[in-house]
Structure 1
Amino acid sequence: MTKYTDDEIRNMSKVTIKIAADYLGISTNMLTIGMRNNLLPIGFAIRNEESYRSNWSYSIVPERLIAYNHGKINEIQIENIENSINTIVSQFEEMKRDLVFLLSENDE
């Protein structure tokens, strides 16, 4: 298990599940379950149910990971960020539905 510094995490273009788990000193399984159940506020776990079977995608925010590791994450800040992101996601989903509708009209 490699131990990463805050600066190494901060400078990564992408923090993987393995890297985040090593940084926190937990298993990858614990990390993914914690993110899926909103118990580990270091990023986002997104369930994709559009494929044959559902799968998960994870996005880890380096600064949130570092703050969590140092016990400095503020739950109110996280809630506000997540509410904003949920709003953005719903707007994109609405745009996607509109685009699919427009494209289906063009096919007819």
Structure 2
Amino acid sequence: MIRTLILSGALMFAAGAASADEPIVGNWKTAAGDTAQIASCGGSYCIVLKSGKYAGKKIGILAGSGVTYTGQITDPANDKTYSGSGNIFGNSLKMKGCVLNVLCKSQTWTRL
């Protein structure tokens, strides 16, 4: 019985540790060919461009877990912010930005 409790506790610890790693965190190649870094920031995930014309610019903040995230995305060229989302499919991240949830544009990023 003690062995079963120890094994159950170890499995719960391993599951908790695995859920702490969010699949959205990391470096992504944008549709424009730039590198965007997505990192944890204050309970959400901040998106900052690391290369290209707008390097250093924060272009979004998303919240969520697993493979689905929602929040805001900013177009670095005109500084307009849109409601946004990100969905992960393997090593691809489909980013979508919308005006009034009607007019939407999307692009796919690739994990680096």
TM-score normalised by length of structure 1: 0.24
TM-score normalised by length of structure 2: 0.24
Larger helix percent: 1
Larger strand percent: 2
